[in-house]
Amino acid sequence: MRLDKFLKVSRIIKRRTVAKEVCDMGKVLVNGKVAKPGTALKVGDIIEIQYATGSVKAEVLSLKEHVTKEDARNMYKIISGKEIE
Protein backbone atom coordinates (compact mmCIF):
# COMPACT_ATOMS: atom_id res chain seq x y z
CA MET A 1 0.00 0.00 0.00
CA ARG A 2 1.21 3.50 -0.80
CA LEU A 3 2.36 5.63 2.13
CA ASP A 4 -0.07 8.49 1.44
CA LYS A 5 -3.01 6.09 1.21
CA PHE A 6 -2.00 4.33 4.46
CA LEU A 7 -1.83 7.65 6.30
CA LYS A 8 -5.35 8.49 5.10
CA VAL A 9 -6.96 5.06 5.63
CA SER A 10 -5.44 4.71 9.11
CA ARG A 11 -6.62 8.26 9.87
CA ILE A 12 -3.18 9.37 11.03
CA ILE A 13 -3.68 12.21 8.55
CA LYS A 14 -7.28 13.00 7.63
CA ARG A 15 -6.95 13.65 3.88
CA ARG A 16 -4.79 11.97 1.24
CA THR A 17 -3.86 15.27 -0.40
CA VAL A 18 -2.53 16.55 2.93
CA ALA A 19 -0.62 13.28 3.44
CA LYS A 20 0.93 13.71 -0.03
CA GLU A 21 1.93 17.31 0.71
CA VAL A 22 3.54 16.34 4.03
CA CYS A 23 5.51 13.58 2.27
CA ASP A 24 6.57 15.95 -0.52
CA MET A 25 7.95 18.37 2.11
CA GLY A 26 10.22 15.59 3.44
CA LYS A 27 8.54 15.42 6.85
CA VAL A 28 7.74 11.69 6.73
CA LEU A 29 10.37 9.02 7.32
CA VAL A 30 9.92 5.29 6.74
CA ASN A 31 12.49 3.16 8.56
CA GLY A 32 14.66 6.25 9.06
CA LYS A 33 14.69 7.39 5.42
CA VAL A 34 12.78 10.30 3.85
CA ALA A 35 9.81 8.79 2.02
CA LYS A 36 7.84 9.85 -1.04
CA PRO A 37 4.03 9.54 -1.15
CA GLY A 38 4.25 6.44 -3.36
CA THR A 39 6.61 4.53 -1.05
CA ALA A 40 5.33 0.96 -0.65
CA LEU A 41 4.68 0.03 2.98
CA LYS A 42 4.75 -3.40 4.55
CA VAL A 43 3.80 -4.68 7.99
CA GLY A 44 6.51 -3.86 10.51
CA ASP A 45 7.67 -0.62 8.88
CA ILE A 46 8.28 2.33 11.21
CA ILE A 47 6.77 5.65 10.12
CA GLU A 48 7.92 8.93 11.67
CA ILE A 49 6.01 12.14 10.98
CA GLN A 50 7.71 15.40 11.94
CA TYR A 51 5.37 18.19 13.04
CA ALA A 52 6.22 21.76 14.00
CA THR A 53 5.89 20.93 17.71
CA GLY A 54 7.50 17.48 17.67
CA SER A 55 7.14 14.13 15.99
CA VAL A 56 5.21 10.89 16.23
CA LYS A 57 6.63 7.45 15.47
CA ALA A 58 4.35 4.52 14.68
CA GLU A 59 4.73 0.89 13.62
CA VAL A 60 2.57 -0.47 10.79
CA LEU A 61 0.52 -3.41 12.11
CA SER A 62 -1.79 -4.08 9.15
CA LEU A 63 -2.52 -2.89 5.63
CA LYS A 64 -6.20 -2.80 4.71
CA GLU A 65 -7.83 -0.91 1.85
CA HIS A 66 -11.03 -0.03 3.74
CA VAL A 67 -11.60 0.11 7.50
CA THR A 68 -14.13 1.59 9.89
CA LYS A 69 -13.16 4.50 12.09
CA GLU A 70 -12.87 2.17 15.09
CA ASP A 71 -10.65 -0.34 13.23
CA ALA A 72 -8.35 2.37 11.86
CA ARG A 73 -6.48 2.58 15.20
CA ASN A 74 -5.62 -1.12 14.91
CA MET A 75 -3.58 -0.48 11.76
CA TYR A 76 -0.69 1.06 13.68
CA LYS A 77 0.91 1.26 17.13
CA ILE A 78 2.37 4.51 18.49
CA ILE A 79 6.00 3.95 19.53
CA SER A 80 6.89 7.48 20.62
CA GLY A 81 5.44 10.94 20.56
CA LYS A 82 1.87 12.05 21.01
CA GLU A 83 -0.85 11.12 18.56
CA ILE A 84 -2.38 14.09 16.76
CA GLU A 85 -6.12 14.44 17.48
CATH of the domain at 69: 3.10.290.10
Q: Which of 45, 54, 59 shows the shortest CA–CA distance to 12?
A: 59
Mean pLDDT of 46-52: 91
In a domain, 85, yes or no: no
Its domain, for residue 11, covers: 3-80
Rg (CA), the chain: 11
Q: How confident is the model at residue 83 (pLDDT cuts 50, 70, 90)?
A: low
The structural domain count of the chain equals 1
Give the model confidence (pLDDT) of 8-44 as tens digits.
Answer: 999 999 999 999 999 999 999 999 999 999 999 999 9
